[in-house]
Every structure is written in structure tokens, then in C-alpha cells.
Amino acid sequence: MLELPVYLDYAATTPVDPRVVAKMLPYLEQHFGNPASRSHRIGWVAEEAVVEARAEVAALVGCEPREIVWTSGATESDNLAIKGAAQFYQDRGRHLVTVTTEHKAVLDSMRALERQGFEVTYLSPDANGLLDPDRFAAALRPDTVLASVMLVNNEIGVVQDIATLGALCRERGVLFHVDAAQATGKVAIDLSTLPVDLMAFSAHKTYGPKGIGALYVRRQPRVRLEAQMHGGGHERGMRSGTLATHQIAGMGEAFRLARLEMADDSARIAALHQRLKNGLMALDEVHLNGDAVQRVPHNLNLSFAFVEGESLMMAIKDIAVSSGSACTSASLEPSYVLRALGLPDELAHSSIRFSLGRFTTEAEVDFAIRELASQVGRLRELSPLWDMHQQGVDLASVEWATH
């Protein structure tokens, strides 16, 4: 029997793997020490756990353990990387470059810097969600201090060509930050060869706990940051605050498992992705958002034309997914990521993000296909847009009374 609701929202967060939970628990009770306590064994045990976890995080992404700075999550890592580098290097220049489809943690950090007098160039991706390296190169200026491009997009799952983009930054002496929150355990990351200076990680997208993340800060050539959190000088002064030993141990274990199981997980999830995609795209007027090839199989973002996303989510209440339509917000704006791809409004309002993970089964995928097929059909019977489409009316030619 299927357990309902079926969870297909792994890009929002993942369950903590039971093996991760087991690793974390001792650090809540018996090994409760402060890793910064150097004067007794209780502190040393906690510190050992932090050292081990730091090595595991580093091993997954091919860097040195001492290049890893613990934070509260990818949002904090993005903030620290972008604001910290921009502020530290502002004498070099006050211009930054990013992409309109970045996560809000990047975009809003950029906005904050604009209020401090920095200038930011926001590049649009192509219709497939990928950033054209030539356009990226053209945006880099002599006064550009930092560029930020995410590795795997959270909404549409496309994988940016970080190696090429990073090389363009290197040639021009521009620091390169990469938000990799959605990438760990899904794509191979090797910072020993990638021209990347800063990279943000999150535990809870990779079967670790919420509330913990990390920032990679390159040592050679050395990257320096203005701290955003001041206090006891933890993490080499870049991020003060008592280390959350149990969270850190959990992130380390989660990243260790990701390293060992990524190949098997990815192959299995790629098969499930294909099954879900084939099943859903067999319906009429279903559009894939984001590049079909340069993507992670964990994400499938589809627009079910002429059906509004929120009502569709309501109809498939036994399936936990996300919609690019945000009718609940006061703005009634569809997803800014889908708009950035140039999607017509009715498709942007009609999108559903399915994200698959370690515990997704074939039976769950088949259930989702059946539910979607029946509910999309039902809602289209209710939809005046579907009616018009059936009658051959071009919706773009209609003069709508926008409100």
C-alpha cells in the first residue's frame, strides 16, 4: 500500500536519512560538549566530530577540510559569500554579476549591496534556463568583483556550465561564487579542478538536518571575506557562533552517504524521472520547463496548459509537490524563474515542480501519473481557456481585461 501523501517535493527539503539521525543523536546527550572547549575531554569529543564532518563535506566536493566554513544553511552561505566578498574587495570595484533565475538568497543579497552603492548586472538565461557563456563574459567588467551563478536550479533543475563560466571569471580576476544547495549528491563536484572561489551548501536538501550548511572558501588563491556574524571568532573569524555539533555531525554523515551512493541513486532516479516524464507528457499540451538534457533527473518541471497550478495542486492533494504559480501571495505573480525563461503567462501559472529523491518508488510515480491524468482532464473541462483552445482561439490575440 502507498503511504499518502506521496512526497515529490525533495527540492523543497528531504527527510533526514535514518543513518544520519543515528549519527546525530549521541551529540545531543552524552557528547554534548562545546567543540571550542579545549580544556577537557567532553569538548575534545565534540571537536573530533566536527573535524570528521568537515572532512566528509570536503571529500564530497573535492576541497581541503579547512576550506569549509559552517553556517546555518545555504541562505547564510550565499549572504556571507556575496556580501562578505563584495565588502572586503570593494576597493577593487563595486560591480557584481548574477542571473535572474538565481535563488532569492543570492538575488536579495545583491539587492542589499545595491542599497550600499554597488552596481549589479542581472543576466537573463536562454529559454532553456541555461546561461550563455558569451553573454556572461560580455557582462564582466574591469570593476567587477564577483559573479554568482547557481549550479543546479531549484525550480527547473537545469545544470549551469560552471567550469566554463568560472574559467571566464578566472581570466578576468573576478571572484566566482556558486550556490550548490541543490547540487550535492546529484552532480559530481570537484573543487580541486573547478575554477570556483566560493560555494554554498545545505544539509537538508541532501538527507541531512535543517539549520546547517557550509560555505567553501578557497585558500589558493586565497579568498577573504568580511564577516557578517561577529562574536567569538569561530571558523577563522568568518562566522562566529558556537558550532552546532549534532547538526554538523549530521551534515557530515549526509554528505558521506551522498558520496558513496550518488552513482546508484542517480541511475535509479533517472529511470523514475523518465517514467514520470513519459507518463505525464503523454497528456495533451504539457510542456517541459528547463533544458531537457543539461539537468538533474531529480527535477521535472511541467506546465499543464490551461489549468491553473494552485487549483491543480489542490486537486492532487495526495501528492506533495510545488507550483510555480503563487496565487496565495498578494502579488499573484507566477514564478520569477519561469517568467525569466520567457514563458507565456498561462504556462507560467500552470506549472508543477515534481522533485524525486532517495525514497521515491515506482509505485509512487505511477500513482502521480494516474492522479495527474484524471485531475488535469477534470480541470480542463472547467477551463474557459481550454474551451477556447479547442475552438482554435489564439489566447495571445485576446484582449484581456487585466485586473
Query: Which residues in this chain contact other proteins in the complex, by CB under 8 A?
Result: 306-308, 310-311, 314, 325, 327-330, 332, 334, 344-346, 349, 381-387, 395, 400-403
**Distance of closest approach, residue 309 Cβ to other proteins, in angstroms:** 8
Question: Read out DSSP for 305-362?
Answer: TTS-HHHHHHHTTTEE-EESB-TTSTT-PBPHHHHHTT--HHHHTTEEEEE--TT--H
Dist. CA 377–CA 322, nearest whole Å: 19
User: Cell 557530515 belongs to which residue?
Assistant: 252
Residue burial 337-374, b: 16+ Cβ < 10 Å; e: rest: bbbbbebeebbbbbbbbbbbbbebeeebbebbbebbee
By beta-carbon proximity to other proteins, the closer residue of 113 and 352 is 352
**Distance of closest approach, residue 104 Cβ to other proteins, in angstroms:** 20
Stated as kind and residue range, the H or E segment containing 299 is strand 299-304
**Distance of closest approach, residue 379 Cβ to other proteins, in angstroms:** 8
Dist. CA 164–CA 295, nearest whole Å: 16
**Distance of closest approach, residue 320 Cβ to other proteins, in angstroms:** 14
Dist. CA 185–CA 258, nearest whole Å: 5
By beta-carbon proximity to other proteins, the closer residue of 176 and 386 is 386
Helix axes 245-281, 41-61, angle to 10 degrees: 30
By beta-carbon proximity to other proteins, the closer residue of 181 and 372 is 372
Question: Is 169 annotated in the active site?
Answer: no
By beta-carbon proximity to other proteins, the closer residue of 29 and 381 is 381
Q: Residue 237, Cβ neighbours under 10 Å: how many?
A: 13
Of 42, 283, 327, 395, which residue is the catalytic one?
A: 327
**Distance of closest approach, residue 317 Cβ to other proteins, in angstroms:** 10
**SS3 at position 30:** coil
Cell of 58: 570536503
By beta-carbon proximity to other proteins, the closer residue of 201 and 386 is 386
**Distance of closest approach, residue 335 Cβ to other proteins, in angstroms:** 11
By beta-carbon proximity to other proteins, the closer residue of 134 and 381 is 381
Contact predicate 209/250, CB 8 Å = yes
User: Cell 566554463 belongs to which residue?
Assistant: 164
Residues serving a catalytic function are 327
